[in-house]
Structure formats: structure tokens, C-alpha cells
Amino acid sequence: MSANPGEKEGLSFQAEVLSNTALNAEHLLLTLKPATSETPEKKGSVTTSGGGAASGGGLAPDAKATSIKGSVTTSGGGTASGGGLAPDAKATSIKGSVTPVAPGQFYMLQVGQSAEPLLKRPLCFFRKGEGNTLEFLYRIRGKGTQLLSQIKPGAEIDVLGPLGRAWPRPPKGKTPLIVAGGTGLASLYPLIRSLKGKAVVFYGSRCGEEILFQDELERMSAELHLATDDGTCGSKGTVMDLLGKYKLTPDHFVYTCGPEVMTRAVTKAVLGAGTTGYASLEAYMACGVGACMGCVIKTTKGYRRVCKEGPVFKLDELVFA
């Protein structure tokens, strides 16, 4: 898949934490401002980036949003407002001299203030905030993101990005249809925003508390269909239960991000309807630049790196175990 216009080489820079505010039990809003000049990341270098569980794919409902202020990438986004954040959500922003970022790309962020953990964690670009800040919706789901949630204002962290392939634009004449599960919304939100009211959106989570940014999604979407496991918001059941009631046709072009079980089901339904689309996948990453080969997945075109050839892949290229 060729790079989309606006995709640039990742930049390595330091950023000051301006705020790190909890939005709910597991999600936070982190705001960063670059503290030093940005420098192009050398291809093949593993030392300037870190790793962790990729947040480009199916993130669970305990997502966080991150905004980084400073010399970083920008493109299609809003401010860190919006209702319906789950009890565990956070956001991060980066502000300053910015390099363009496209929906679907990600950043590698240092998560601790010591040598442990050594590796950075990947977070999807969520949206552009006020004053050219960058925001990232993420969830506390392990040691790395737990440490990130504890970083205090005034601290400095290393950041690398933007990285990876972005979402392609839908073909002319096709209706974009979005399927988001949990914090998979993080990758899809800037795409929905860029489609300017043309997207039909299906979004599911565990409960109503974890349906994030509902008011904004309603304003940005042609249609918004919600589902929760417990029925406290929208239809009761999974987002796939809800999608199963909707007639997919070859006129749709589908984008999806969420847990693997959801991505697998979406892929089967979409290809069975005679259409296609793209999915953003999750994988553990060590470098984020394609050097370590730690995030390789099997596709119909051979083995591909989620951080470099992905995280966005065409649905008919995916191979599920």
C-alpha cells in the first residue's frame, strides 16, 4: 500500500507534560509541549524509539486520549472536549511547530521517568487540539500505560512520530462505513471528522460510560449506531450484532478498528457482501520504525510489519489464525 499524501518521516523530540488529567477510571487527557528541536528519525534505528502494545488496533474500553503540544505532526482534529468519556479515559496533546499527521498514523511515547520500562508505547493520533496540540485516546491496560498515566506536569518525555500508514480516502461514489470497537475509536475518530458528515458509524463498547465522545460523533456522522454489552446506551449486544441488522452492499467502503475478534467478524461480513475496506491492527512493537521486526503479521502478500506497512491494512489481505 502506498503512502498517503501528507505522511512524513517520523520525528524524534522531547516534550514537556503540561497536563495529565483523568477523564474516567482508566482514560486520561495528556498534554505535551516539545521541549527541544525535532530531528528526523534515521531509518532502521531502534535506539530512539520504544515499544509496547500497539494502540492502533482494538483497544479496550479503558482508553485514554493523549495531546502532545509542540514540534509534532498535525492534521484533521478538534479540541479535547466531548461528552460520554468512559470512567477510565485519558487524552494527550503535543503543541508547537508541527509536521502533518494523517488519520490512522501513530506516535511512540516514553511512558516512564526511568530506564524501566525501556521501550516506548505506540498511541494512535486521535485529533488535533487547541493551539496545534495533538491528542491521543488511550486506555490503562498494562504497566506501560499505567506509568504514563502517573506522569506529572513539568516532566519531559521522548516522543517519535508520526509513524505508519494512514487511512486511504474512500473511492468516489462509495459510502464510507465505520465500525469501531472500544478504544479502536481512537484511530477512526480523525477519519470520521475528515469525512465531513458522510460516514455511517457503528460504535460499540461494554457500557454507556465507555461510549466516548458521543455528542461529537453525532455531529460528525451521517448516521451513528451505538451498541453496548449491557444495553445502557444504544442497542444491547455487540457492535457486530448491530451491524448484522444493517444491509451491507458493494456501495459501502468499510473502515474498522477494534478487538481482533471484531475485526475478524467485520472482515467476513464485508467480504461476504461483495465490498472491501481497511482495518487498523494492533501488535506489540519495540521500535516503531520497522527495524526490529517485532510486530510482523502474516498477510496474503506475505509477512508485513504493523508499524511500517501498517497499522492500516486492506481487509482482503488479512489472514486470521
Residue pLDDT, tens place only, 35-79: 644 444 444 333 333 333 333 333 333 444 444 444 333 333 333
272 in the same domain as 219: yes
Contact predicate 183/61, CB 8 Å: yes
Per-residue confidence band for 156, with pLDDT thresholds at 50, 70 and 90:
confident
Q: Quick one: pLDDT at residue 129? A: 73
Domains in the chain, number: 2
Q: Is residue 4 part of a domain?
A: no
pTM of the predicted protein model: 0.82
185 in the same domain as 151: no
pLDDT at 15 over 50: yes
The CATH number assigned to the domain holding 76 equals: 2.40.30
Task: Please provide the average confidence, as pLDDT, over all residues in the chain.
Answer: 80
Q: Is residue 6 part of a domain?
A: no
- Which residues are within 8 A (CB) of 114 and not within 5 positions of it... i.e. 6 or more apart? none
Q: Quick one: pLDDT at residue 67? A: 44
The most distant pair of C-alpha atoms in the chain lies apart, rounded to whole Å, by: 52
Q: Is residue 32 part of a domain?
A: yes
Q: Which residues pair with 316 in a beta bridge?
A: none
pLDDT at 189 over 80: yes
Residue pLDDT, tens place only, 245-285: 999 999 999 999 999 999 999 999 999 999 999 999 999 99
Per-residue confidence band for 8, with pLDDT thresholds at 50, 70 and 90:
low
Q: Quick one: pLDDT at residue 36? A: 44
Q: Quick one: pLDDT at residue 34? A: 66
Return the top range by mean pLDDT from 4-8, 38-42, 84-88, 232-236.
232-236
Q: Is residue 2 part of a domain?
A: no
Q: Which position has the grid cell 506489540? A: 284
pLDDT (average), residues 131-150: 85
**Higher confidence at residue 4 or residue 158?**
158
261 in the same domain as 192: yes
Domain membership of residue 283 as a residue range: 175-317
pLDDT (average), residues 230-251: 97
Q: Quick one: pLDDT at residue 93? A: 52
Contact predicate 209/200, CB 8 Å: no
153 in the same domain as 40: yes
Q: Quick one: pLDDT at residue 228? A: 97
159 in the same domain as 31: yes
Q: Is residue 5 part of a domain?
A: no
196 in the same domain as 152: no
- Domain boundary, last residue among 131, 163, 195: 163
pLDDT at 165 over 90: yes
79 in the same domain as 16: yes
Contact predicate 150/141, CB 8 Å: no
203 in the same domain as 274: yes
Q: Quick one: pLDDT at residue 35? A: 60
CA distance 291 to 178: 31
138 in the same domain as 108: yes
Q: Is residue 100 part of a domain?
A: yes
157 in the same domain as 27: yes
Q: Which position has the grid cell 509496547? A: 52
Q: Specify the range with the lowest mean pLDDT, choosing from 15-24, 58-67, 117-126.
A: 58-67
Q: Is residue 1 part of a domain?
A: no
143 in the same domain as 200: no
CA distance 197 to 175: 11
121 in the same domain as 96: yes
